[in-house]
Amino acid sequence: MQSRKLDLNRLREDDYFDTLARWLGLEGEAERERMARRRRIQKARDAERSGETLLNLQIQDHQTGLAGRILFDFVKADGRPLPMNRLKVGSPVVISDSDDASDNGIAGVVSRRNQNVIQVATERWPECERLRIDLSPDETTRRRQLSAMASARVATGRPKQLREMILNQRAIRQGDQDEVEFLTSLNGPQQEAVAFALASPDIAILHGPPGTGKTTTLAEVIYQAVERGDKVLACAPSNTAVDNLLERLVPLVPAVLRVGHPARVFESLRGHTLDELVEADPSSAVIKDMRRELTEVLRSAARPGRGRDARRRRNLLYGTAGDLRGQIRSLEKNVVRSIVDSADVICTTTTIDDDLLGKMRFDLVVIDEACQCTESSVWQAALRADMLVMAGDHCQLPPTVLSDEAAAEGMRDSMMHRLIERDGSTIFRRLTVQYRMHRDIMDFSSDEFYDGSLLADESVAEHRLCDLPGVETNELTMTPLMFVDTAGANLNEEIERDGESKYNAGEAKLIEQLAGELIESGMRRDQIAIIAPYAAQVRWLRNRSSLRDIEIDTVDGFQGREKEAVLITMTRSNDRGEIGFLRDTRRTNVALTRARRKLIVIGDSATLASNDFYGRMLEYFEQKQAYRSVFEFSLD
């Protein structure tokens, strides 16, 4: 059955919430199906290739965290680095026996990760030696969203008013802007955006194209709000985005609290996490002793010995652990309450811990990266708001949705995008001065996605690789753009064995050569990035020894980041003109806007130009005299 896109603006209240609930149901089904499929894959290498499974792990270390959780550090049993994976900080996972497919495992949440170690917070001690970790369906998040939407349906007072505005039943008002004394040095459009957001009585949107200082601007909005006495909830859909905002906020607002899993928090920010603040509280010494005891009890329960009594002993120990955990929780609850109450700003992901925040409401709720939020994921935060500010860029990657059916009906469209389309310029302000890209790198994206409105700040407008210390001046380093066309050279895409993802060995070779030339010109490896839309191409490139220490990632892994030089391998090359998910040009927009001084794109014009957008992209490179044919390079 062909699904068609639904217009949420036309739906009545009940239909709107029913639709979102149905999408969540479809998404849950899709996630569960995917997990079941993955667990059926027998061959280790293939299971890990999904990026959602890590096999053959062992415990390297453990410690106790807040609320009696145990934090386990897992490493590969053979000492190798972890393979490329999508287990992020905050991802729900299941830890189970690597050798026993029937083991249902223990639920946990990823709390930290690096190349070699993945840390998972869980409540029980795994009972086997050789473990696997699988990304698990995110039921908790879905349950919380459903419960928020159930409350939103019957809400009264202010939440009801906001609901009516979001559902197109009541007009969103505009406010009269006051003079603002800015704390940070903002450009004109940023100042206008701050004043606009602060004056809006209901809902305001900040549209931040790449590198335009969206987070800087949001931080100023939050600072100003706190100055006038507001209590603020600052959210974002991912832990990384929350931490980026937190990093900007800390120098401006001292009383900031970061709740949620003690994430990839930078050293300088750790003092703001709930865990650390609780730790610093005087009553923590007692709690710490109790936690130590809990760990011991759990450890004994995992190894109850043999014999008839083993099960009884284990159950007794789990009983004791349960009691202990209860006592720890009640002590911690009091400490936590006072910390939460005294914060001016609370930072969290949009999956809000409702038990922690209780019925707390906020004068201002801010959602960063709001275009990566599905519509249903906004409601938890929106329900707590007197006034709502959303910031993001709908011309970059949309939220990840697994269910094709839900996606076809519109689940990938964010609320922020819908409101911009519905209400037009009255509801948003766009930031237009960017601090990242050379003017020529910016212009194509600006014309295609932002009505040509972007301006390069003069500090970056003309900057080139050869202006960097230690980099020599040559043709490669003097110019900001290059497209290498592989048409006619038979550098065809291939499908990874046993997989679905594509790679292109010919393009990879060209990437190696060009990256080599950049390094020979004096660039450091950490100033270069390679972006491929396909995971198989990323894997292929990461296996090239000449590219070691150069960051290589998918587009999705690169949103929000930048490098001095970026090489993109478009990967698709076939005689059917098939470009697959490159058709979603928002993904390409992200890829094209990561480079500060040099952007190199490698692709097959014969395949790409079947699509008008790529046709225009090729013309742009030609017009900037940045078009080269692969035949100008000698590939050995």
Binding footprint of ligand ATP on the chain (CB under 6 A): 185-187, 190, 208, 210-216, 435, 560
Q: Is 435 or 633 the residue whose CB approaches ligand ATP more closely? A: 435
Q: How far is the CB of 597 from ligand ATP (least distance, A)?
A: 14
Can you name the residues that pair with 602 across neighbouring β-strands?
484, 569
Q: Is 289 or 458 the residue whose CB approaches ligand ATP more closely? A: 458
Q: Is 185 or 545 the residue whose CB approaches ligand ATP more closely? A: 185
Q: Is 435 or 613 the residue whose CB approaches ligand ATP more closely? A: 435
R_g of the chain computed on alpha carbons = 26
Pair 485, 445: CB distance under 8 Å:
no
CA-nearest of 500, 469, 509, 492 to 571 is 492
What's the CA gap between 260 and 237, in Å, rounded? 12
> Residue 411's Cα: distance from chain center in Å?
17
Ramachandran class of 501: left when φ > 0, alpha when ψ lies in -120 to 50, beta otherwise: beta
Helix, strand or coil, per DSSP, at residue 433 = strand
Q: Quickly tell me which residue has 């996972």 as its tokens.
A: 93
343 φ/ψ angles, rounded to the nearest 5 degrees: -80, 140
**Count of beta carbons in the 10 Å neighbourhood of residue 501:** 19
**Max CA separation in the chain (angstroms):** 81
What's the CA gap between 27 and 32, in Å, rounded? 9
CA-nearest of 220, 210, 268 to 243 is 268
Q: Is 184 or 295 the residue whose CB approaches ligand ATP more closely? A: 184
Residue number of the CB closest to ligand ATP reads 213
Euclidean distance between the first and the last CA atom of the chain, given in angstroms as a whole number: 50
* Six-digit token string for 71: 């934090």
What's the CA gap between 268 and 275, in Å, rounded? 14
Q: Is 137 or 213 the residue whose CB approaches ligand ATP more closely? A: 213
Helix, strand or coil, per DSSP, at residue 378 = helix
Pair 624, 595: CB distance under 8 Å:
no
Q: Is 140 or 216 the residue whose CB approaches ligand ATP more closely? A: 216
CA-nearest of 268, 380, 287 to 325 is 287
Q: Is 108 or 210 the residue whose CB approaches ligand ATP more closely? A: 210
Q: Quickly tell me which residue has 């809000």 as its tokens.
A: 352
What's the CA gap between 108 and 424, in Å, rounded? 43
Q: Is 19 or 212 the residue whose CB approaches ligand ATP more closely? A: 212
Beta strand 131-135 with 53-64: parallel, antiparallel or unpaired? antiparallel
**Residue 431 CA neighbour count, 13 Å, CB half:** 30
Q: Is 61 or 462 the residue whose CB approaches ligand ATP more closely? A: 462
**Residue 372 CA neighbour count, 13 Å, CB half:** 21
